[in-house]
Chains A and B, each alone.
Chain A
């Protein structure tokens, strides 16, 4: 008996020391050797408590498929011309379909031969289109479409990770979720609008030749020459800072894209003392830029970012250095952000915000403060009632409850769990259940005493009779908590985690620890009356 008491004492002591060890980094933030927090990190607070941003972004994967088809069209167009194949029109239909219209079957066979050689993955079909033309249809296979979509999401995730790294957020979370969704959590972000525009900007940089022959008035009325499109140039008045837009007709063909960039940096233009973004092409890009500028001296080239023209300078001479500059009356922050997104690369497809939760740091602090205050008040009330009602035995229950909270905190740290508001709710529920476990035991002991049994015997049978009740009640709740953890999302999970941890801690303290304290005090005494 005494031997088992020693062993149980050692178990309780070990658990207390381990918990203390795990909680030191939480209690003394920063003032401990670095190996310590690396073993047991401080308890992490959820975004609802510490402030920050929670974003779910959806990647428009259909656009990624469309742009893949567009690329194939551009390449096919070039090959068709090279081989002198006569065709009426080449276009994309229904997102994933490439259609080439030809005049007769002979040309059609040439088209087929070319396409099987160049793009064997496409599924061909022949149809008679409007006006009796032969239409050659090519479709991406379902597998290929899946691949493109999947790649687009992982590529977008990678790009955003680069951007976040350069933005400088401590401990960001970026995760791919089911389907085409990306979850991003940025703790402690103080400028949410800037973060959103940095993350969500597609940053597709394109160079296109300006069509000077086109009539702007006709273009605005919707009459565009074949192979051109209408874009708007962004102008900022240096004196007033007001933004305006000028329409510009450019060729649909992109001569160069931002994929071929090696670097982007912010520089200061000494003439107007305003920042611009200087870009350097990689070897391939530099060669192509050299060719394009050589071939188009005297024409205007539009620098287009996400379908907005930033500038359209006249090419004065061949540029062979492989660098260019994007100016557009930026503020220094705009220029910095533009350089970041250009360096990090463009998103393969546009993204949209599906969910955005931003909690300012002051609100987070207020929530913690009032949450903690209310828990303290509640706990004090419980303490008073338990001690009044159960006297000295009540003190044992309080000791067990305090240890319970201590163990819960320690386990949160050990498992690296995140504490959220619903998580606090889970803790309140488990503390309630821990109180209940003690009450159950004490009521049983009272019943036994009422039957005239001796104190020690009453404690013994009180615990053993309450045991199955407590186990059943707690295990059912634990079961529910585990199911919720498995199937729930976000807040439901936060609740399930603390509830599971709390139930384990409260089972241990209510059944094991409080029993140990009872036995410890009654060890060598022959108690006649139990203070309960």
Chain B
């Protein structure tokens, strides 16, 4: 079976202006949302705070829980329904305490008063002090930064420097758009999401390298042809592979998103956005970027 005819010839590079507009719209929408919310919406891993996941025996809703907690004076607790389970909730408060009997036991005790002992099961407690949160954020950022440097060096060595620049810009493009989508959909960024961002970087990089690899090969094969021709030809030749791989990966991520359960849900959301944007960017961002460089290099001559 074949989806893509071997002699397919779509002018991808010719549509680079449209692609630029699409990318800019996505980036600006994300940026506007980020600015509007005053930066990324950090989860307790990075902002510090206490999170308690509670399962109730009886039916209840977020408003009842918030009402039950008002006496504790915890600031404004954020109460969210968790996953598809109807009676499971996440309660998040900003306050943390280094004391041994923490905020979480206060919350549990108060809830048991309202709902009755044994009606409330605490399934997860996370407390991250503000200092640890800051450390985790810095370390996460630093890790990504060093990873990017390493990638830059490797691609410069295996290809050319402009390929490395193109790949890094495409990566930044993907991560920024995903970050923007998280802000637009009001999703929190915590440590597992950083892992998802890393996976997106890995995936997008893989995709970009495969197109670049074909470009490198065709530059040797068709050295008489224009660079635009080479780019288009390379993208078309790898198109079948791009569609199959992205399609299968999307299916896996989609099944994680739908069936993976609450903890994986946001992770899969990031991956979903990342795979789509990553595939798009390899064709419409990473490849045309090489062209800009080519033109600039050609002008003085």
Contacts and interface: CB of A to CB of B under 8 A. Distances in A.
Contacts of A496: 198
Nearest to B85: A366
A495 B264 contact: no
Interface in B48-97: 53, 97
Contacts, number: 241
Interface residues of A, number: 81
Interface in B201-236: 201-203, 205-206, 209-210, 213-214
Given A193-B105, A435-B245, A476 B205 contact: yes
B124 interface: yes
B123 interface: yes
**For B121, B210, B258, which residue has the most chain A Cβ atoms within 10 angstroms?**
B210
Given A353-B127, A479-B150, A480-B147, A432 B203 contact: yes
Interface in A434-456: 435-436, 439-440, 443, 446-447, 450
A403 to B, nearest CB: 18
Contact of A379 (B121, B150, B252, B254): B252
Given A435-B248, A484-B143, A476 B209 contact: yes
B154 A374 contact: no
A37 B108 CA distance: 40
B250 to A, nearest CB: 10
Given A374-B258, A487-B142, A363 B125 contact: no
Q: Which of B99, B150, B154, B255 has the most CB of A within 10 A?
A: B255
B260 A370 contact: yes
A371 B143 contact: no
A79 interface: no
A469 B154 contact: no
B251 A480 contact: no
Contacts of B140: 488-489, 492
Given A363-B123, A374-B259, A492-B198, A200 B100 contact: yes
B251 A432 contact: no
Interface stretch (B131-139, B177-185, B287-295): B131-139
Given A425-B196, A488-B139, A375 B256 contact: yes
Given A381-B255, A480-B151, A370 B127 contact: no
Contacts of B252: 375, 378-379, 381-382, 428, 431-432
Given A439-B244, A476-B205, A484 B147 contact: yes
Interface stretch (A159-167, A319-327, A385-393): A385-393
Contact of A353 (B102, B136, B247, B248): B102
Contacts of B247: 385
Given A352-B99, A480-B147, A492-B143, A425 B267 contact: yes
B261 A367 contact: yes
Contacts of B14: none
Interface residues of B, number: 76
Interface in A340-370: 352-360, 362-363, 366-367, 369-370
Interface in A156-211: 192-193, 196-197, 200-201
B201 A480 contact: yes
A490 interface: yes
B297 interface: no
Q: Which of A366, A388, A494 has the most CB of B within 10 A?
A: A366
Contacts of A237: none
Interface string A459-473: 000000000110011
A192 B263 contact: no
Contacts of A360: 121-124
Interface stretch (B24-32, B110-118, B187-195): B187-195
Interface in B238-286: 238, 240-241, 244-245, 247-249, 251-256, 258-261, 263-264, 267, 271
A183 to B, nearest CB: 11
Contacts of B144: 484
Interface in A364-415: 366-367, 369-371, 373-375, 377-379, 381-382, 385-386, 388-389, 391
Nearest to A390: B1
A366 B205 contact: no
A358 B128 CA distance: 11
B194 to A, nearest CB: 6
A491 interface: yes
Contacts of B131: 354
Contacts of B251: 378, 381-382, 385
Contacts of B104: 356
A422 B261 contact: no
Contacts of B122: 360
A352 B98 contact: yes
A67 interface: no
27 contacts: A58-B98, A352-B98, A354-B131, A360-B122, A369-B261, A371-B264, A374-B258, A375-B256, A377-B255, A381-B251, A385-B248, A422-B195, A422-B267, A425-B264, A425-B271, A435-B245, A436-B210, A446-B2, A475-B154, A476-B155, A476-B205, A476-B209, A477-B205, A484-B144, A490-B136, A492-B191, A495-B195
Report the 10 A-B pairs with minimum CB-CB distance, sorted nearest first. A352-B98, A370-B261, A378-B252, A422-B195, A378-B255, A374-B259, A363-B123, A487-B143, A356-B127, A374-B260
Given A374-B259, A378-B255, A382-B251, 20 more contacts: A56-B132, A197-B101, A353-B102, A359-B123, A360-B121, A360-B122, A363-B53, A363-B124, A375-B256, A385-B244, A389-B1, A428-B253, A436-B206, A436-B249, A447-B6, A472-B209, A475-B154, A476-B206, A491-B195, A496-B198
